[in-house]
Amino acid sequence: MNSPATSDDLPKQMMALRAHARGGPEQLRYEEAPAPAAPGDSEVCLQVRAAAITFDELTWPETWEADGVDRTPIIPSHEVSGVVTALGAEVQGLSVSEEVFGLVPFNRNGAAAEYVLVPAANLVRKPDGVSHVVAAAAVLPALTASEALVHSRLTNDQRLLVRGATGAVGSFVTQFAARMGIKVTATVRSASAVDRAKRYGADEVLVGDDVTRLDPASCDAAIDAAGAGTPDWAYRGVRPGGRLITLQEPPDADLAAAAGVDAMFFIVDPHPEELQRLADQLASGDIEVPIAQTYPLAEGGEAYAARGRTQSPGKIILTVP
């Protein structure tokens, strides 16, 4: 077993992005904060190099409370890549100074800081040659896409409808599905995204209002990777008995019943084997990781406020020097 870190081994203070009251980006402040204590037995302390933003986490109850108890001040951003600085006594397979990436649970302080504590089971070694920015950007979208495809129950040569096929999650859904031999009908917002969707492996691309050309019941499953408010055409596009998966909010039960589809919503649950599979995929260079923009940690509030302002697909990343 590893020798546990003591409080003398770790910094007492750090710079972090914090919110002291519930709200949106306007509540975020870049300020000095207490650094994490020594890691617990199964935890790892990371010096953060890059952290990816999930905008909607500022609206989730678990961001602000745990078991009904207020958690403020909170630190957001839970997709992380960094360097191990300390290990809990029971952590195996990792060592100090190794570069790792993974997912911080959403009910604890995140990685928009110089240091963060992460359960060891939520981390994997970062491949050499893959940047911290790319690793952080891939974590949650890729894990979500992989789990969504498992839930889709699709096999080779079946057809999948992907709404938002070039976004942060949709890009991985499209790439992974194509590699599984699944035929992808992709929807995108503008003509400028058509070539990108085809590069990811889409067989058919529908732009904006072109979804009116989607034949009813023409797909075996659908994954809505575009956000809240899954439109009725997405339900109608799935054959009766097929599955529709939403990633932002639970599906509309009435629309699902009318279309005769099995609609579901899930929250991603990271597993070590899935993280390792992602690390192997990143190492191979076979998948493309879209990154919209990077901001230094000190400009984290501006980064969270940038939702909808960037025309580039993919994740917004906070970098920590």
pLDDT at 244 over 50: yes
Q: Is residue 131, in this structure, part of any structural domain at all?
A: no
pLDDT of res. 188: 94
Average pLDDT rounded to a whole number, residues 60-66: 91
Average pLDDT rounded to a whole number, residues 233-241: 96
Residues 26 and 103 in one domain: yes
Per the prediction, the chain carries an average pLDDT of: 93
pLDDT of res. 8: 56
255-299 pLDDT tens trace: 999 999 999 999 888 889 999 999 999 999 989 999 999 999 999
Residues 217 and 170 in one domain: yes
pLDDT at 162 over 50: yes
Q: Is residue 54, in this structure, part of any structural domain at all?
A: yes
Residues 188 and 251 in one domain: yes
- Which residues make Cβ contacts (< 8 Å) with residue 193, sequence separation at least 6? 165, 166, 205, 207, 313
pLDDT of res. 262: 97
Residues 70 and 181 in one domain: no
Nearest to 198 by CA among 206, 223, 290: 206
Q: How far apart are CA 71 and CA 160, in angstroms?
A: 40
Residues 46 and 104 in one domain: yes
Residues 248 and 297 in one domain: no
Q: Is residue 282, in this structure, part of any structural domain at all?
A: no
Lowest model confidence (mean pLDDT) among 65-69, 195-199, 255-259, 297-301: 65-69
Residues 216 and 305 in one domain: no
Q: Is residue 235, in this structure, part of any structural domain at all?
A: yes
Q: How far apart are CA 107 and CA 104, in angstroms?
A: 9
Confidence of residue 6 (pLDDT cuts 50, 70, 90): very low
pLDDT at 320 over 80: yes
Question: Which segments of the chain are extended strands (E)?
Answer: 13-19, 28-34, 43-52, 65-66, 69-70, 79-87, 99-103, 115-119, 123-125, 159-163, 183-188, 204-207, 219-224, 238-246, 262-265, 291-296, 315-319
Share of the chain above pLDDT 90, in %: 84
Please say whether the beta carbons of 44 and 87 come within 8 A: yes
288-317 pLDDT tens trace: 999 999 999 999 999 999 987 776 788 999
Residues 106 and 145 in one domain: no
Average pLDDT rounded to a whole number, residues 218-224: 97
Confidence of residue 113 (pLDDT cuts 50, 70, 90): very high
Q: Is residue 212, in this structure, part of any structural domain at all?
A: yes
pLDDT at 4 over 60: no
Average pLDDT rounded to a whole number, residues 224-250: 93
Residues 115 and 147 in one domain: no
Q: Is residue 178, in this structure, part of any structural domain at all?
A: yes
28-46 pLDDT tens trace: 999 999 999 999 999 999 9
Residues 235 and 159 in one domain: yes
Confidence of residue 7 (pLDDT cuts 50, 70, 90): very low
Residues 165 and 118 in one domain: no
Residues 64 and 113 in one domain: yes
List the CATH number of the domain containing 177. 3.90.180.10
Q: What share of the chain is helix, strand, coil (3-state, %, to 5)?
A: 30, 30, 40
Q: Which domain covers residue 52, as residue numbers?
A: 7-126+290-319
Number of domains the chain is built from: 2
Top pLDDT among 67 and 132 is at: 132
Q: Is residue 285, in this structure, part of any structural domain at all?
A: no
Q: Is residue 114, in this structure, part of any structural domain at all?
A: yes
